[in-house]
Structures are given as C-alpha cells and as structure tokens.
Homo-oligomer: A and B are copies of this chain.
Amino acid sequence: MQLDLEALNTQLSEQGYKLTRQRRAVVEVVTHAHTRFSAADVLAKAQRACPDLGLTTVYRTLEILEELSAIRRVHLDNGCEGFAPASAEHGHHLICSRCQETIEFEDCNLTALLRRVSEQTGFTIQQHWLELVGLCPKCQPRK
C-alpha cells in the first residue's frame, strides 16, 4: 500500500497548509520512497525538481508529514533517526540491512507478550516500538 501523492497533497491543503513548490517536491520524494531516509536524503532528491529547496524546509515539511502520519520515525544505523513512509494507522518497519529497502507491516500481534510483561512488572504499557532488520529477497545470498 503506497502513499498517494495526490491524496497527501489534498490532505495538506485541507489542513490549511499551502502547497508550495518546495512542499510538493518533498512530498513527491517521500511518497515514492521505498527505503528509509534522512532529511539530507530528501533534500538531495527533491532538489532535482526544486533546486532552490533548503534543508530547513525539508525538516519543517517532514515534521508536518509526521503529524499527518504520512511518515514515521525509524532508527538509522548510526543511532540517530530517519523517516520512512507510513500508510497504516499503526505499523512498524522492516528494513533491509544491505539495500535499505524498507517496508511497512501492520501485523504486530504483541498482545500476549505485552500482557506477560505487564503482569510480571506491574507496568501499564502505553506504547511499543518495534523495528525489524533483515535481508530482503533480492539481497539474500543464493543457495
């Protein structure tokens, strides 16, 4: 399920955000991304369509897109953060450690686990963060 460029532009507009050239360029890149990305990654790609785009605007736009749940924060290898397209209401990401391909999965049936941990610790669990790393089919060694 890929993010829809038009739908996202419409949503921005409906929320009162102006559809500037810069925002369109960022949204274009983000909706077509099939890997996780950093703000700098977005800048590099979006500048092809919009050369005068600045990094500040990328940060500001990513912030908006996160609010709209169009993207979600993920972790990059260096420890700091990046973003990935998010279509599901509640989803997690699976990232290829070799080619960085990133896909979203909605199946997070952690109910039993959460209940056990909750019972054992007395904690009330509010949120969970789950991210999987592996090798996508293309990057797996041939047998």
Q: Is the CB of A105 within 8 A of B132?
A: no
Interface string of A65-89 (1 = CB under 8 A from B): 0000000010100011100000000
Q: Are A131 and B128 closer than 8 Å at their CB atoms? A: yes
Chain B residue, CB-CB nearest to A105: B117
Give residues of chain A (113-142) contacting chain B, Cβ–Cβ below 8 Å.
Answer: 113-114, 116-118, 120-137, 140
Name the distance in Å between A116's Cβ and chain B's nearest Cβ: 6
> What's the nearest-Cβ distance from chain B to residue A88, in Å?
13
When the two chains form their complex, are residues B132 and A127 in contact, meaning their CB atoms are under 8 A apart? yes
Q: Chain B contacts of A117 at CB under 8 A?
A: 94, 105, 107, 132
A123 cross-chain contacts in B, Cβ below 8 A = 94, 96, 103, 132, 134-137
Contact in complex: B120, A126 (CB < 8 Å):
no
Pick the contact of A132: B73, B107, B128 (CB < 8 A).
B128
A residues near B (Cβ < 8 Å) are 73, 75, 79-81, 94, 96-97, 103, 105, 107-110, 112-114, 116-118, 120-137, 140
